[in-house]
Amino acid sequence: MEQVTDAQHRQARSKRQLGSRLVPFAFLAIGGFFLITAHTAHLFGILPYLLVLLCPLLHLLHGGHGSKHDTESRHTDGEKQ
């Protein structure tokens, strides 16, 4: 009977761990595919509303009109001249 070395045991265990990590991602990908194909009309119907809802969020992330970055660049341009 052949003895399994520690390195072979670790290699086999790492292959099992990799497979167990890929299974949830494969399941989510398959589920996402069927969800998108079955509900495409619903997704496209809500898309304009999502774009409108993104406007305030982007405005907050951008910093609004006259953000700190814009005013600093104006002051430094004026000092250089």
In contact, 29 and 22? CB cutoff 8 Å: no
pLDDT tens for each residue of 28-81: 999 999 988 998 888 788 889 999 999 888 888 887 666 565 555 555 655 555
How far is residue 55's CA from residue 48's CA, in Å, rounded to a whole number? 11
Q: What angle do CA 58, 64, 49 make, to 5 degrees?
A: 30
- The beta strand positions in the chain, using DSSP E, are none
Output the pTM of the full model.
0.39
Q: Where are the domains of the chain?
A: 1-38, 40-81
15-39 confidence digits (pLDDT tens): 777 778 888 999 999 999 998 899 8
